Structure 1
């Protein structure tokens, strides 16, 4: 009965057949590239804990965006590094803030590139938390008022999409109302719907200088042990008007990505965060693995789990390799 033996290897024997039957694919158009924007000119300041990633001044960021667009990466998300930090993160909602300057410059140079802005206060506060501190903790409703101001300011500067990452209750609905009330009803909102209090954010906090000066973020970011709560958070954001849902981090939460894909019909994004990126880069630099192959495998797992969109610091390198080998 040898002729009845199932032989799955038949479909692996030839590279073209493997390509033909491949179930999951990655292309540059799947990615959003995060960029860190700082004041000054002609600045490209490498971030030690994130090999290949730098803080960029606005002029250099425009050049970087042009390269990304030419490589087929359709979107960037901007994080600001202010000159001045204070208790309420005022540069975040200042119409002349660093992100507002960057949005205007990038959109003038590359009107077709999608420019998304992170809406949060942690990069701008002197204490490193994501909102206004009252009695030793982040005050939800006061913070939401400032997040609405920040989102509207980004919209006025020309942002194509806003992405609140703070995890305050009710912020999606408040931002949606604020955008609509200021003439930006067309502007989509990508919510960090499921953002865990993760150890994988360390390199980002180096890059954005946003490490909390006291305590932690456990009172507003999600407990890594919880899955059902993720469905609650996502459902609330859908009700409040989110257009895209996001899970952050990605690889430690592939089960959450999969569950959201099964339960919600909105486009789903996943953030392959700084720690996920950095540990693969570090292993590659030490010769412990092939970093490009490992990074691609990791990103495929995110897409396979159900993400439509991947935010990744590897987006540019992936696009360069894709062009080289396609």
Structure 2
């Protein structure tokens, strides 16, 4: 019916009505908290990411206790080793930092979902996500064996989900086969299927000490101008056996979250990345925005775009505000 019979504002008149017809929900259980675990004792603040620290294994266990208390959906572990080499051997070492942290967290909080990042960039002295050849190019196929070894070592340590973020072709299928052969057929693979070569990763590279020593990652991460390619990557990873899919970053790629969800009908996660977090923190510190309102609106928009799960450094604050 035309105005004045039809008045959409009727359903916005009171908080109760707005709540009753709200289309998108946001709850602590929708959120995953990333954690950076290092070999040092204690916490080390990350300058570009106020409120986020590198954590010892003991501090990571305590942080996971907070995640449990707040009802978060899980945590995502990134490791920062003391020793780096061309092959990234600490990524798949049985006593590597992520492996030790995973065992300690699962012993203390057995019901908390622990997702582990499967990549080599934090562990290689050159900072790239795979094996680098003499000419400086990343060798896709030679990298697969190392990524499989990393995923299997994480599963053996007790990881609930492994999440390859390297963007090598064929790694999902290789990891699925490797997990099955190693006796971990029920360990899901959360694939960073649609990961862009983004300018929003800057603070993360400080946090994870993973800035490439030369070149960049544009030969294996997606071109920000390409949407169809991102969907094709997602579909290929589904064919290779991915159990969940991830779009990264989130806010500049809300359209890809929607398109991946529509194309695959698979569980989709979105990563609200370090640059997005840092901008909100900087604007809030300057008094330009209401941090709580902006964070909750941002996370709701990511969910509205189709994300079943949001990985975010705001997770603890958001959960506190929501409850």
Normalising by structure 2, we get a TM-score of 0.98
Alpha-carbon separation, structure 2, partners of 1:287 and 1:4: 41
Deviation at 1:192, TM superposition (A): 0.1
Q: List aligned pairs for 1:73-152, cutoff 5 A.
A: 73-134=72-133, 135-152=135-152
| Deviation string, structure 1 residues 103-143 (Cα, Å, up to 9, x no partner) | 00000000000101000000001111111111211110111
Per the alignment, residue 60 of structure 1 pairs with 59
2:227 matched residue in structure 1: 227
Q: Structure 1 CA distance, aligned partners of 2:60 and 2:4?
A: 59
Question: Gaps spanning 5+ residues in structure 2: where?
Answer: none
Superposition pairs of residues 253-292 of structure 1, within 5 angstroms: 253-292=253-292
1: CA distance, partners of 2:49 / 2:307: 24
Distance, in Å, in 2 between the alignment partners of 1:15 and 1:149 is 52
Within a 5 Å distance, the mapping from 1:21-60 to structure 2 comes to 21-41=21-41, 43-60=42-59
Partners of 1:261 and 1:73 lie apart in 2 by 22
Q: CA deviation at 1:88?
A: 1.0
Instruction: Provide, for residues 128-177 of structure 1, a one-character-per-residue CA deviation record: whole Å limited to 9, x for no partner.
Output: 11111112111101111100000000011111110000000000000000
1: distance between equivalents of 2:175 and 2:233? Answer: 16
C-alpha separation in 2, matches of 1:4 and 1:161: 54
Cα distance per residue 1:286-322 (max 9 Å; x no partner): 0011111111111111100001000000011111112
Greater than 6 Å deviation, 4+ residue runs = none
Q: Match for residue 192 of structure 2? A: 192
Alpha-carbon distance in structure 1 between the residues aligned to 2:60 and 2:234: 32
- How many Å apart are 1:5 and its aligned residue? 3.1
- Could you report, residue by residue, the CA deviation over 1:13-51 in whole angstroms, capped at 9, with x for unpaired residues? 11111111111110000011100001133x121111011
> Larger deviation: 117-126 or 5-14?
5-14
User: SS where residue 245 of structure 1 aligns?
Assistant: strand
In 1: Cα distance, 2:259 partner to 2:233 partner: 13
Where 1:23 maps in the other structure, the secondary structure is coil
Deviation per CA, 1:40-69, whole angstroms, max 9, x where unpaired? 33x121111011111000001000001111
Q: Give runs of aligned pairs for residues 206-217 of structure 1, distance below 5 A.
A: 206-217=206-217
- CA distance in structure 1 between the partners assigned to 2:64 and 2:215 by the alignment: 36
- Given the two structures, how large is their TM-score scaled by the length of structure 1? 0.97
Matches within 5 A, 1:145-160: 145-160=145-160
Distance 1:3 1:122, change over 3 A: closer
- What are the superposed Cα offsets for residues 170-217 of structure 1, whole Å, 9 maximum, x if unpaired? 000000000000000010000000000000000000000101111100
- 1:2: how far off? 9.5
User: How many positions carry a matched residue from both structures?
Assistant: 322
Rounded Cα–Cα distance in structure 1 between residues aligned with 2:4 and 2:287: 44
Secondary structure, counterpart of 1:118 in structure 2: strand
